[in-house]
Amino acid sequence: MDPRIHQFHQPLQTPQKNKAKTKTDTSFQKVFHEAQTLKISKHAEKRLKQRNIEIDETKWNEISNKMAEAKSKGVTDSLVITNQAAFVVSTKNNTVVTALGREEAASQIFTNINGTIVLED
């Protein structure tokens, strides 16, 4: 054996028979669902409350689905426009970054986005 190579002895791991296994649900579907879950940043949540913007669960689901579609097309940051509001979202993180009322959004310039999603009621 080459004297420059040192051999390390690693003892064999012996299985422990009485060791309790903890069951964790890391199924693909659970991980996929968690990855698809739309998150709302604290900043966006604050803006929604300040501006009295209320979006129902159906519309949130539609936004989430369109974000996933945009992500599959390479969009990372997007502007989502609905009849009630406009949202800047990160499709990378599935997160709503900020929210504006629809009228307020009409006079704004949106930067650092590479896609737009328009949802009509």
Which residues contact residue 67 at a Cβ distance below 8 angstroms, ignoring those fewer than 6 apart?
38, 78, 80, 89, 91, 94, 117
Tens-level pLDDT at each residue, the chain (121 residues): 555 655 555 555 555 555 554 555 566 555 555 556 899 999 999 999 999 999 999 999 999 999 999 999 999 999 999 999 999 999 999 999 999 999 999 989 999 999 999 998 7
The model carries a pTM of 0.70
Question: How confident is the model at residue 25, as a pLDDT?
Answer: 54
Question: How confident is the model at residue 100, as a pLDDT?
Answer: 96
Question: How confident is the model at residue 120, as a pLDDT?
Answer: 87
Question: How confident is the model at residue 12, as a pLDDT?
Answer: 58
β-partners of residue 98 are 88
Q: How large is the C-alpha radius of gyration of the chain? A: 24
